[in-house]
Structure 1
Amino acid sequence: MGLDSTLDIMNGTVGEILLVDENTRELLRTAHRGLSNEFLEKVRLSLGEGITGGVAKSGKAVLLEDICSDARVAHREMVIAEGLKAFICVPLRAQDKVLGVLNVASRLPRKFTTNDMHLLYAIGDQLGIAVEHARLYERLRKARERMRKLARQNLVAEEDERRRIARELHDETSQSLSGIALQLQALIEMAAIPDKNDKDFVAGLKKVQALTVQVHKEVSRLISNLHPALLDTLGLVPAARKYAETRLQSLGITVTLETRGIAVRFPVEVEAALFRFIQGAVGNIAQHSSATNAGIILEYRPDEFLLTIKDNGHGFNVKEITDVEESGRGRGLFSMRERIGFLGGSSGIESEIGKGTTVWARIPVGQDIEYGENKSPGS
C-alpha cells in the first residue's frame, strides 16, 4: 500500500514517508503529498528531533488535534505557514526495528481517532515490511554484482598470472634451454672430430652443466612462487621469511620478520591465503615502493591473528589505488582483500605520499579452526 492509498483511506490531504538513514541518522523523505516546495526544501529532521524524529527513535505513535500547539514540534514557523492541523505520526517497523515514519495530516480541523491510529499502525507495519524487503533485495543485488565483479577480477588475475609465468619461462628458462641445446650440438660436432681438443670438450661440458644448474634454479623459483614447499613442511613463518628475503634483499631492501605470541599452524587453506597476502604485499614493495627497509609482523593472539607489513617507501594516495576499475588498477589489492575476506577476516592499507605504506590483515581464531603448535626453528 502506497502513500496515495493511505491518504484516501484516512481522508487526509497531506502525507509523507521518511526513512532513517543508518549512516547519518537523518530522516530521508522518500514520498510526499500536499507539501509545498519551500517546506520540502527547508524542513530536514534527524533521529530524535521534533515529533517525527521522536517517533522514529521511540517507535511510539503520536496523535494530535493541532500540531502547531504542541511544544515538541520542530520548524514551527514552517508548520504554521503550511497550515497543518490534525496530525498522526506512526512508525514503520520490521522485525522490531523502526525503519522510518508515516505522517498523515490535514489542513482542516479534524479529530483523528484511536481507530485511525490503529489503522495507520497496521499500514505502517505493512510499509515497514515492504521497505525491509526492498532493502534486502538491494543488498542481494549488490552482493550478486560484487560476486560477478570478483569473478571477472579473478579471471583477469588468473590470465595475468599465466602471462607472467609464460613470460618468465620464455625470457629465462626457454632461452637457457636453447643455450643448452646449442652447446650440446656443438659438443656433438666436436666429438666427431678425430683430433679434438679434450680441454675445449671438457669446458663445453662444464658450460652445459652450468646452464643446466641455472635452469634448475629458475624452475625451482617458479615452483616456489606458485606454492613454496616450506609452507607445507614448516608453515607460514619460515615460508614468509624465505620469500621476503629472497624477493627483497636482492633489490637492496632490508627486511625483518617478527613473531609475537605463540606461533601456531593454521589449516592449509588459511596458511595459503595468508602467504598469498604476504606475497602480494612484498611484491608491491619490490615493484612500486622504492623502499630501503621493510618489516613483517605476525602476531598470534588468543582470538585472532594479526599480520602487518610495513615499508619506508614513497607511499601513495590510497583512494586512487584501492578503487578497482575495469582497467585493472588496484586489482592486486582487491585480490588480497578478498582472500582475507574469504577467511572471515578484514584487511586494510594505510599510506601517505612520502611516509611509506602499512598493509594489515586480521582473521578470527576460534574453536572452528583446528591448529597445532608450530615448533619449527623458523618461528
Structure 2
Amino acid sequence: EKMEIMTLEEISMLASSDYDLNEVLQSVVEKTAKRLGVDVSSIYLWDGKELVLRATTSFRKEAIGKVRLKLGEGITGSAAKERKPIIVKDVSKDPRYKRFAELREQDYTTMLSHPIIHKGELFGVLNVQTIAPKDFQEDEMYFVSVIANMLLSAIMIRKKV
C-alpha cells in the first residue's frame, strides 16, 4: 500500500516535470513493472493513424518507434478501439493476440491493456504482461488505471507547450 502510493507520487512528479516525454514514458514503464512485479510494461502512443511503441521494459529497445498497431489490431489495438481495459489470462487462447518477430517476445501468458483516454479521445495504451499466468487483483487494476490517467496528464501537459 505505502509502496504503491510512493510509486504513484514519483510518477505524478515525473508527469508534471520538464523532462522529455520519452524519458517520462520510459521511467513510468520501469516503475510500473517493478511495482506490479510483472515481466514487461509498455506504452504505445496514438499518432492519429496508429499506435506506436514509445517505451518498454523488456523488449529490445530498437523496437521503440518501429512497432505499430492499427486500431483494433492485437489486444492493444482492441483496448484502444473499445476505449476500455482488456485483461487476457492466457494470450495463446485469444485470437486477437499478435506476436511481433522484432520484439522477440518470450511466451507471455497474461496481458492487461489499459487505454489512455480523455473524454473519449484516444492518446495511447499502457500494457503489462507476465510470463506466468496471473490474476490481476482489483487494487492492481486500479493502480494501472491511475497510472494511465497520470500518463494522460504527462502527454497533455507536453502537447500544450
Equivalent residue in structure 2 for 1:105, among 106, 113, 129: 129
Alignment partner of 2:109: what SS? Answer: coil
Alignment partner of 2:72: what SS? Answer: coil
Equivalent residue in structure 1 for 2:139, among 101, 110, 115: 115
- Structure-2 change in CA distance of 1:32 and 1:77 (3 Å): closer
Paired residue for 1:75?
99
Q: Aligned-pair distance for 1:111? A: 1.9
RMSD: 2.5
Q: Where do residues 275-354 of structure 1 align in structure 2 (5 Å cutoff)?
A: none
The 8 Å contact of residues 44 and 125 in structure 2, kept in 1 or not, is answered as yes
In structure 2, what is the Cα distance between the partners aligned to 1:35 and 1:76? 10
Q: Where do residues 190-209 of structure 1 align in structure 2 (5 Å cutoff)?
A: none
Equivalent residue in structure 1 for 2:73, among 42, 49, 66: 49
Q: Aligned-pair distance for 1:127? A: 0.7
In structure 2, list runs of 5 or more residues that go unmatched: 1-10, 12-27
Paired residue for 2:42?
16
In structure 1, what is the Cα distance between the partners aligned to 2:45 and 2:146? 17
Q: Where do residues 149-228 of structure 1 align in structure 2 (5 Å cutoff)?
A: none
Letter in 2 for 1:87: M
- Structure-2 change in CA distance of 1:50 and 1:113 (3 Å): same
The 8 Å contact of residues 52 and 67 in structure 2, kept in 1 or not, is answered as no
Q: Percent identity?
A: 28
In structure 1, list runs of 5 or more residues that go unmatched: 138-379
- Does structure 1 residue 127 correspond to structure 2 residue 154? no
Alignment partner of 1:87: what SS? Answer: strand
Q: Aligned-pair distance for 1:88? A: 0.6
Q: Aligned-pair distance for 1:43? A: 4.3
In structure 2, what is the Cα distance between the partners aligned to 1:37 and 1:92? 22
The 8 Å contact of residues 36 and 82 in structure 1, kept in 2 or not, is answered as no
In structure 2, what is the Cα distance between the partners aligned to 1:9 and 1:81? 21
Q: Where do residues 2-13 of structure 1 align in structure 2 (5 Å cutoff)?
A: 2-13=28-39
The 8 Å contact of residues 39 and 78 in structure 1, kept in 2 or not, is answered as yes
Paired residue for 2:118?
94
Q: Aligned-pair distance for 1:77? A: 7.1
Cα-to-partner distance string for 1:307-363 (whole Å, 9 max, x where unaligned): xxxxxxxxxxxxxxxxxxxxxxxxxxxxxxxxxxxxxxxxxxxxxxxxxxxxxxxxx
In structure 1, what is the Cα distance between the partners aligned to 2:88 and 2:59? 18
Equivalent residue in structure 1 for 2:60, among 36, 61, 76: 36
Letter in 1 for 2:81: K
* TM-score w.r.t. length of structure 2: 0.72
Q: Aligned-pair distance for 1:37? A: 5.6
In structure 2, what is the Cα distance between the partners aligned to 1:42 and 1:29? 7
The 8 Å contact of residues 92 and 124 in structure 1, kept in 2 or not, is answered as yes
Q: Per residue, is there more helix in 1 or in 2?
A: 1
Alignment partner of 1:51: what SS? Answer: helix
The 8 Å contact of residues 21 and 27 in structure 1, kept in 2 or not, is answered as yes
In structure 2, what is the Cα distance between the partners aligned to 1:74 and 1:98? 21
The 8 Å contact of residues 86 and 112 in structure 1, kept in 2 or not, is answered as no
Q: Which moved more, 1:9-18 or 1:67-76?
A: 67-76
**Bigger relative contact order, structure 1 or 2 (CA pairs below 8 A, ≥6 apart):** 2
Cα-to-partner distance string for 1:261-289 (whole Å, 9 max, x where unaligned): xxxxxxxxxxxxxxxxxxxxxxxxxxxxx
Letter in 1 for 2:140: D
Alignment partner of 1:82: what SS? Answer: coil
Q: Aligned-pair distance for 1:79? A: 8.0
What is the total number of aligned residue pairs between the two structures?
135
Q: Aligned-pair distance for 1:49? A: 1.1
